[in-house]
């Protein structure tokens, strides 16, 4: 089944890496919801996350810079800063804000629509054609999201639901734009250098945002449990997934990794049920299945085509 693996043991190791990367990334929404119990706002939590991750990405950025064989043009650095801000600063900020209003399970279903947004934006920006199969996938995905949303609607709280869904959809949109930009940069920079310096650019954006909102940002005075969650948020959902997925793709190929990566939303739903006592209605379960089917239909072909050129489409670290 796994054609790109040289040895069965290597294949199983690749499967383990991809599954861990996907599951670790999918825990983000659950950890954020647990952190919000301590009445921390989105910008403060995001700033703590980036402070903890900064030393690692700085070290990796310097290491990758020293190993870089090809000169990077100034316009590539400018594009890298923009793409990093979109994917790891704005997408994260929008996601953190949205999770103040909706459940972790619903957030992951909406975020998981980002591959379909890549298809649509690619058609608008790069004039790429959309196949019949992709149109079917688009319709399935958004019908599934609407079904999942409808299962959470309670009349007095409907406005908060749609507000949260709006912010999370903006997160998916920002990340889709990030991926389109990354297609231009990764072949020249490589995965390690791109991801490290893009995250450093995003960290700078977060710090500037926090300094502008200094009166509303609080980083001290919380219980130890909050800082434990911030460390988990930084290490488990920010630092590890990109590198686990990269190593897994090298062993399995992009197509197999894309299929295994679809476990992400499912693991979020399970963790949200276990740790947050979130429950899915029958309608929401049907919606979730439709979303997974639609994204799987569009993602497998796209990721197989693009990720074998070292794209980051399976790495959701925002």
E strands along the chain, which residues? none
Tokens of 217: 């940002």
The answer to which of 6-15, 34-43, 249-258, 296-305 has the lowest mean pLDDT is: 296-305
The DSSP code for 313 is T
Is 33:278 a contact under the CB 8 Å cutoff? Answer: no
Percent of the chain at pLDDT exceeding 90: 39
Give residue-wise pLDDT tens across range 61-72.
Answer: 999 888 877 778
Q: Please tell me which residue, 283 or 168, carries the higher pLDDT value.
A: 168
pLDDT for residue 172: 93
pLDDT for residue 247: 78
Give residue-wise pLDDT tens across range 210-260.
Answer: 999 999 999 999 999 999 999 999 999 999 988 787 777 777 766 666 667
Q: How far apart are CA 312 and CA 126, in angstroms?
A: 18
Sign of CA dihedral 305, 306, 309, 312: negative
pLDDT for residue 207: 96
Sign of CA dihedral 232, 103, 273, 88: negative
Is 292:265 a contact under the CB 8 Å cutoff? Answer: yes
Is 87:179 a contact under the CB 8 Å cutoff? Answer: yes
CA nearest neighbour of 199 among 42, 59, 26, 25:
59
Answer yes or no: is pLDDT of 11 > 80.
no
Sign of CA dihedral 62, 184, 249, 69: negative
Answer yes or no: is pLDDT of 122 > 50.
yes
Answer yes or no: is pLDDT of 307 > 60.
no
Is 186:312 a contact under the CB 8 Å cutoff? Answer: yes
What value does the mean pLDDT of the chain take? 84
Tokens of 107: 């957030």
Is 215:222 a contact under the CB 8 Å cutoff? Answer: no
Tokens of 58: 């700085």
**Torsion angle in degrees (nearest 10) through CA of 273, 138, 303, 256:** 50
pLDDT for residue 98: 95
Burial of residue 223 (number of CB atoms within 10 Å: 0-12, 13-18, 19+): exposed
Q: How far apart are CA 198 and CA 64, in angstroms?
A: 12
- Model confidence at 306, in pLDDT bands (50, 70, 90)? very low
- Residue 143 gets the label, from left (phi > 0), alpha (psi -120 to 50) or beta, of alpha
pLDDT for residue 309: 45
Give residue-wise pLDDT tens across range 143-197.
Answer: 888 888 776 554 446 778 889 999 999 999 999 999 888 888 888 888 788 888 9
pLDDT for residue 8: 64
């Amino acid at each position: 089944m796994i054609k790109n693996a040289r040895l069965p043991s290597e294949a199983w190791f690749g499967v383990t890496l991809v599954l861990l990367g996907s599951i670790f990334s999918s825990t983000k929404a659950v950890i954020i919801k647990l952190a919000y119990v301590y009445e921390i706002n989105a910008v403060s939590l995001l700033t703590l996350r980036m402070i903890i991750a900064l030393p690692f990405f700085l070290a990796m950025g310097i290491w990758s810079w020293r190993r870089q064989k090809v000169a990077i043009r100034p316009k590539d650095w400018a594009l890298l800063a923009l793409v990093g801000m979109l994917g790891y600063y704005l997408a994260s900020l929008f996601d953190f804000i949205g999770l103040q209003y909706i459940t972790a399970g619903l957030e992951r279903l909406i975020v998981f629509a980002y591959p379909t947004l890549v298809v649509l934006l690619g058609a608008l920006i790069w004039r790429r054609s959309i196949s019949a199969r992709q149109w079917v996938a688009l319709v399935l995905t958004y019908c599934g999201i609407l079904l999942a949303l409808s299962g959470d609607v309670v009349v007095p709280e409907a406005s908060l639901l749609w507000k949260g869904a709006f912010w999370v959809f903006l997160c998916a949109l920002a990340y889709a734009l990030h991926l389109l930009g990354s297609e231009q940069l990764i072949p020249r920079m490589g995965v390690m250098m791109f991801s490290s310096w893009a995250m450093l650019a995003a960290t700078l954006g977060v710090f500037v945002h926090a300094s502008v909102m200094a009166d509303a940002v609080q980083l001290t005075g919380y219980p130890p449990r909050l800082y434990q969650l911030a460390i988990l948020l930084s290490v488990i959902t920010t630092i590890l997934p990109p590198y686990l997925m990269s190593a897994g793709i090298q062993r399995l190929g992009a197509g197999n990794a894309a299929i295994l990566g679809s476990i992400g939303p499912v693991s979020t739903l399970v963790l949200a049920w276990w740790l947050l006592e979130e429950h899915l209605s029958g309608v929401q379960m049907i919606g979730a299945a439709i979303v997974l089917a639609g994204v799987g239909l569009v993602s497998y072909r796209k990721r197989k085509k693009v990720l074998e050129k070292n794209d980051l489409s399976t790495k959701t670290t925002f």
